[in-house]
Structure 1
Amino acid sequence: MTKLPDFHGPHVCPPLPDAEPVEWEVPMARFVRVRVLRHTCECKPCVYEFCAAGGLAWVRRTQRRESGETVRESHPTTVGKAEVLWEKLMNGQAG
């Protein structure tokens, strides 16, 4: 049997002291189909997904704890603005 390599996705940098705050909202079922275009590594207790639907995009954050999962999302916006938020999260400039 062939051993598969250990795959890891990108990790989010810890927020910098001057990181801009993100307003995380409770997800609302506003789209029938959501596409996850990018995601961070599953090895961390907090996973981020770059989502798109209906011409809009946003970031979904899932925090996993012993007590269960908490899912929050940024506000849906244009793909370009969501991309900026994604990059800021990845670089620790937002949190």
Structure 2
Amino acid sequence: MSVPEYHGPHLGPLLPDRVELAWYKPVRRTPVVRVVAHTCDCQAITYELCAAAGHGFVRRTDREQGTVHETAWTLTAVARRTFEMILDGQAV
């Protein structure tokens, strides 16, 4: 059985009243981070919803700039909502 390739969702258009998120340099807090969901990697900037040590956060990778940033680690449900807001153009 063949499994279809999954590219991840694309971001919606940015809304005028979007929330500006605080982005931080990553700090290795745990040896294992699980990527729960991710955006399509066809864009220069990609986002990943991550889980680790009972917390959640969103990781942003800018391949053109060669940078990686993440949101504050928080409750998993809050991180999931932040990821959904990014997907819907409500946050950046």
Q: Same fold (TM over 0.5)?
A: yes
Change beyond 3 A, Cα 1:93–1:42: same
Percent sequence identity is 44
Structure 2 portions without partners, runs of 5+: none
Whole-angstrom distance in 1 between the partners of 2:52 and 2:83: 16
Q: Which secondary structure does the structure 2 equivalent of 1:42 belong to?
A: coil
Residue-by-residue CA offset, 1:52-79 (whole Å, 9 max, x unaligned)? 01100000000111xx411000000001
Q: CA deviation at 1:92?
A: 0.3
Q: Could you tell me which of 61, 78, 82 is aligned with 2:79? A: 82
Q: How much does 1:14 deviate?
A: 3.2
Higher Rg of the two aligned structures: 1
RMSD between superposed Cα atoms in Å:
1.4
SS of 1:8's partner is: coil
Amino acid at match of 2:29: R
TM-score normalised over the length of structure 1: 0.87
2-side partners of 1:80 and 1:26: how far apart?
Answer: 22
